[in-house]
Structure formats: structure tokens, C-alpha cells
Amino acid sequence: MTPHLYLHIPFCHRRCAYCDFNTYANMDARIEAYVQALCAELGMLARQFAPAPPPSAEAAALRPTIFFGGGTPTMLSLGQMERVLNAAAALVPLADAEITSEANPGTVLGRDYLHGLRALGFNRLSLGVQSLHDPTLRLLGRIHTADEARQSYAEARAAGFDNLNLDFIFGLPGQDEAQWAATLATIATWEVTHFSLYALILEEGTPLYAQLTAGRVSVPDDDATGAMYETAMEALGAAGYVQYEISNWVRPDGGEVLPGIPQQACHHNLAYWLNSDYLAAGAGAHGHRYPRRYSDLLGIDDYIKAVGAGRLPVAEEHTLTPHDLRAETMLMGMRLNIGVSEAHFAARCGMSLDTAYSEALGELVGLGLIERVAGRVRFTPRGRMLGNRVFERFV
């Protein structure tokens, strides 16, 4: 068994104005063929990959995970979700697994679907709320209103999703500090275990990018966006949430999965941040089984055709070097507030942290950008502000 699996569902009702993910609108007629191909790819992966032990004691502390991402996974029917989950069970033991689905609030209205997901064994839901301001949601091209997002959140709770994440974006067109502070004050009162808050990234080629360069919209500058990030840290900290990664906060209930990281943190993403191995299936999905990294074909029809021909739908693969592994273990791990454990690094990379980075560590500690505490290396508050200077020393 491989303990972590990402499944990409590349369908959306329509594309949001800021989105550059591998997802397609108006392709609903291909969903069933895609589900069949996805199940077939999972079968091939199960035959090809022998079980991989977790690379360290920290990695072994994580639950097995399956993450349905997208796109909009909740465009699949419950029956299709069940078939994919059953196929995934050949790779990840479902008992005790964290099984997450991303969900667009506009697709899960009504109690039946969410109750159905819960009954299938999904135990974590990640709702893409993004904003509680209707004009902004419209500008972003989201298919839901703020009220519908609230309703989805309440219905997810009622369906028994105790482990519930909400995604929000800040630094949005027209957003100011007061509006963002009001959003934070509202959501801090909701019964949510987890928040992921991301600064808007304006991706070239998106409609929002075109509107911005044409001068039709403007976004807060870097200082204003930085101030919004600090406001988020203060507001969620005051509401009792623990920030455990650059963009992620969790309620500290139910013990810890790693020292300083509450149990209800996203175990799937923790596997990424620990630079563990994970398999992935679906159009454009990226998998990592050291030393091999691969990504699947991007297009839905190319993907279906390749699987139909009986081959893994891999578009690209390359072999990582030990240097790549060490650099990535640092780059990913330093995103966590607890930083990188020396024991984890040594177990994952087969070399002590001091042997790999003695000069960089000495220099960065001397500059006050990182600190070494209880067998871990982590950012100082100043270092976090200058993260790129630290990251470049590990690459």
C-alpha cells in the first residue's frame, strides 16, 4: 500500500476568472468516461507499485490519505465517487484514512449529496468559499453566492463533517483591510476545524490578469496584501486557531499529529510538506515516488485514450537526484511553522542535515533568519519575512 493518493477531477461548471488549474468547463458529457479511465489507472498503479514504507517516523505518524482535488470533484455523482473510492482502496487502506474531497459550495447545496459523501467514508471536506462578498464572487466568476457558501458550510456540519476546511483568498480586487477583517471576524465564529488562506496569485493568461493589465480592475498592492496576511494571523490566533503552515490554520483539538501540529491538520498536505512519497491519478495529476516523479496527460480526451489503450497516461517523468531530494525536503518542510526535524531529514535523505547544509545553516543562524530548537530547524519571525533568502541557500 502507498499511504497517500491524490486524485484529480478536472471538471468545473465554468472557469473562474483567476484559475489556471488543469480543469475544463462544458465537458460534463465526458465525466462518466473519465471516471472509468480513472478507476482503470488506479488499477494499473496498484499492479505497478509495491507498498512503500513511510520514509521517517514523522511520516509514519500521518494517517493514510486520499485527496479528491480539482477542478470540482463534487461534480461527480455519489455513485461515481463510490466507484473511484473503491478503486483507490487498492492503493490506500481506507480504514483510518483521511479521505478529503474539495467541494465548490455551488455544487453541494442540499443535504443529500453531503450526507451521501459522509456515508461513503469521506471524513474531511474542503469548501472553496474564497470570499463572503457577492460582488467579488461575481467578479471572480464563482458559481455561488456568499449565502450559498454559508448554507453549504452549515449543511456540511449537519452531514457530520467535523473536519471541515474553508478556503479563502485575500488581496482580491476591490478588497480592503476593513472588508477582510470583517470576513475574518465572521468566519472565526464558525465551527470550522481548518482554514486555508491564500494571497491572490494573478496568473498570466487568465481573464482576471487580462482585466488587470487593461486597467479595468485593480488589486491591493504588496504592502496592503501583507497587512491582510498579518490581520489573518492575529484574528485566527485570537480565535484559538494554530497556524501550522504558511497558509494553514487548525483548531488545536484532539492532540497532536507531530510536535506542535494539531491532529486535525491536513494529513495529506503534511505528506507533501514532509516530502513523502505519494501517488496521483487523473489528468494532469503529479505523483512522487522517490526517485521518480511523474505527471499525467493534461487533456481529458488524451487521458481517456491513453488509459483505454491499456497504458499509464504519463506525460512526463524524471528522476530526482539525492541533491533534489535534500533541497525539496528543506523547501517543503520549512513551510511548516515547526520547520524540519533533523531526524526526519536524516531518515528521508540518508544524510544528516549538518553534513548536507553545514555552511548554509551556520550562515542563516548567524543572520538570525533560522533557529535550531530541540532537534529542528525553523524560521525565526524575521526569516519568515525573508523566506526566499533562506530557500535559495538550500537550493
| Helix or strand holding residue 304 (H, E) | helix 300-308
Q: Which stretch binds ligand SF4 (CB under 6 A): 10-18, 224-232, 235-243, 362-370?
A: 10-18
383 and 91 in contact (C-beta within 8 Å)?
A: no
Q: Which stretch binds ligand SF4 (CB under 6 A): 69-77, 227-235, 317-325, 379-387?
A: 69-77
CA–CA separation, 106 vs 109, rounded Å? 6
* Burial call 251-270: b when 16+ CB within 10 Å, e when fewer: bbeeeebbebbbbbbbbbbb
Across the chain, the runs of DSSP E, i.e. the strands, are: 4-9, 11-12, 24-25, 65-70, 98-103, 124-130, 163-170, 194-199, 242-245, 248-250, 256-258, 261-262, 279-281, 286-289, 292-296, 314-319, 340-341, 370-373, 376-379
* Burial call 277-292: b when 16+ CB within 10 Å, e when fewer: bbbbbbbbbebbbbee
Please select the residue that binds ligand SF4; options are 4, 5, 23, 163, rule is CB under 6 A.
Answer: 23
Neighbour tally for 33: CB within 10 Å: 16
Which is closer to ligand SF4, CB of 104 or CB of 263? 104
CA–CA separation, 108 vs 331, rounded Å? 35
Q: Which residues ranging from 109 to 168 are in contact with ligand SF4 (CB under 6 A)?
A: 128
Q: Kindly state the number of chain residues that form the binding site for ligand SF4, as judged by CB under 6 A.
A: 11
Can residue 12 be called a binding residue for ligand SF4 (CB under 6 A)? yes
Q: CA geometry: angle at 44 spanning 43 and 48, to 5°? A: 120
Please select the residue that binds ligand SF4; options are 5, 7, 9, 16, rule is CB under 6 A.
Answer: 16
User: What are the DSSP calls for 23-50, one per residue?
Assistant: -EES-GGGHHHHHHHHHHHHHHHHHHPP
Which is closer to ligand SF4, CB of 21 or CB of 272? 21
Can residue 9 be called a binding residue for ligand SF4 (CB under 6 A)? no
Which is closer to ligand SF4, CB of 26 or CB of 86? 26
Please select the residue that binds ligand SF4; options are 3, 55, 64, 70, rule is CB under 6 A.
Answer: 70
Which is closer to ligand SF4, CB of 16 or CB of 164? 16
Can residue 31 be called a binding residue for ligand SF4 (CB under 6 A)? no
Which is closer to ligand SF4, CB of 55 or CB of 128? 128
Residue 25 CA, chain-centre distance (Å), reads 21
Which is closer to ligand SF4, CB of 71 or CB of 287? 71
Can residue 69 be called a binding residue for ligand SF4 (CB under 6 A)? no
Taking residues 90 to 109 in sequence order and writing x for each that binds ligand SF4 by CB under 6 A, - otherwise, the string is --------------x-----
Q: Which stretch binds ligand SF4 (CB under 6 A): 19-27, 152-160, 268-276, 346-354?
A: 19-27
- Total H helices, total E strands in the chain: 16, 19
Can residue 71 be called a binding residue for ligand SF4 (CB under 6 A)? yes
Region at 237 (left for phi over 0; alpha for psi -120 to 50; beta for the rest): alpha
> How near is the Cβ of 84 to ligand SF4 at its closest, in Å?
18
Can residue 78 be called a binding residue for ligand SF4 (CB under 6 A)? no
> How near is the Cβ of 127 to ligand SF4 at its closest, in Å?
11
Q: Which residues ranging from 247 to 286 are in contact with ligand SF4 (CB under 6 A)?
A: none
Can residue 72 be called a binding residue for ligand SF4 (CB under 6 A)? yes
Query: Contact residues for ligand SF4 (CB under 6 A)?
Result: 12, 15-16, 19, 21, 23, 70-72, 104, 128
